Copies of this chain bind each other. A is one copy, B any other.
Amino acid sequence: MTDTLVISVDAMGGDHGPSVVIPAVAQAIASSPANVRFLIHGNEAAIAPELARCKGVLARAEVRHAEKVVGMDEKPAQALRRAKGTSMWNAVESVRDGEAVAALSAGNTGALMAVSKLILRMSADLERPALVASIPHGGGVTTFLDVGANVDCDAERLVEFAVMGEAYHRAAHGAPRPTVGLLNVGSEDMKGHEEVREAHRILREGGLDLDYRGFVEGDDLTRGAVDVVVTDGFTGNVALKAMEGAARFITNELRSALTSNLGASLGAMLARPSLRRFRDRLNPPPAAPLLGLNGIVLKCHGGASARDFAQALKVAAELAQSGFAAEIERNMRRLPAAMSVTAAASADGAAE
C-alpha cells in the first residue's frame, strides 16, 4: 500500500483563479496515481461553479473555504500584513501543519515568498527563498538560480544554491547526477570577484557530493553546458529578464517580418505548424520551486493555462515523492567541513 500524498493548492492565484485551477486539478487527478490527493484553498462561492463543471474532482480533493485573496499587484510587505486567512496563506500553512507535502500557487511571487518564509521559516541561512528558473536549451532545460531577491550573496550562499539546485534538478528531471556550474565572466580560475572564486574553491575541494564542472558563462545557459547554473540573485534576475526581453524582441521582429508582405505571409501560413512547435519549444516549464524553506512550495506562473497548472501539480507531486529535501539536508551538513577545508587551504597558500 502506498502512502497518501496531499498537494495543497491556492485556487485563487494567477490571472484566472479557479477557472484555471479546478480544471487543472481535474486533469492532474486523471493522470496521477490514486494516492495523490488535493487540498484546495479558496472562496467556495467562486470554486463551486467550476466544481460543477469538472465532475469527479471531489472524489480526490477537499475544498477549504478562505475568505480573503492576495492581490496580484500588492507589494509583498503590504500583502503580508493582511495575508493571514487568504487562500495563499492557508495553502502554505497546510504544509507546515503536515496536512500536505507541498503547496502550489500561481499568485503574487513576492507575497508567496514572504508568506512562505514567515510560515515555514528558512532551513538554509538565506535572506529569502531562492527562486529557480528553467531555461530551455537544445537538449532539455537548465536549472538556473537564484533569480529571486537574494541580492548580496557570499560564497557560502552560492554553495547552498548549488546544493539545492542540484537536488531539485535531479528530482524534477529524473537526472541521476546533474552537473553543476558557477556563472562567471570567463572560465579561468582567476576570473570574477572574490565571492565567486571562493565558492569555486569550496565546490571543487570541499568534498560535497556534487558533480561540479567549474565556471560557465552567460551563453552556456541556453547551450546546456551543465544542468544547474548557480549565481547570486542580482546577476540571476538581470540575466533572466535580459533573456526574456531578447526572446520577446526576436519573436516580435519575426512576427512583423512574416506579415510584412504577401510572400512572407503565405510562407508563414505554410510553416505554421512548425512555427507553433518552435514557439512551444521556447516556453519554459510552468513551475518553479522556492528553495531553502522547511517545506516544498512551488510557484506557477501567473498566466498559466489549465494544462500548465496541471503540469505544475505533477512536478509538485514528483518533488514531494523524491528524496529532494533529505538530499539537500545531507549535503548541507557537509558544508561547515567544506568551508573549513578551503579556509585552511587558503591560509596555507598565503603562508607560502
Contact = CB atoms under 8 A, between A and B. Distances in A.
| Majority DSSP secondary structure for residues of A touching B | helix
A80 interface: no
A217 interface: yes
A296 to B, nearest CB: 25
A220 B245 CA distance: 7
Given A185-B238, A233-B185, A238-B238, A257 B271 contact: yes
Interface stretch (A12-20, A42-50, A258-266, A314-322): A258-266
Contact of A253 (B242, B243, B281): B281
Interface string A212-229: 000001111111000000
A149 interface: yes
A231 to B, nearest CB: 7
A282 B253 contact: yes
Contact of A257 (B221, B252, B267, B275): B275
Interface in A183-210: 183, 185, 191-193
Given A246-B247, A267-B267, A234 B138 contact: no
Contacts of A277: 257, 260
Contacts of A253: 138, 278, 281-282
A64 interface: no
B235 A248 contact: no
Contacts of A251: 250
A218 B245 contact: yes
B231 A238 contact: yes
Interface in A255-295: 257-258, 260-261, 263-264, 266-275, 277-278, 281-282
A72 B238 CA distance: 30
Contact of A239 (B149, B238, B278): B238
Nearest to A259: B274
A34 interface: no
The 4 A-B residue pairs with the shortest CB-CB distance, nearest first, are A218-B241, A219-B245, A267-B271, A267-B270
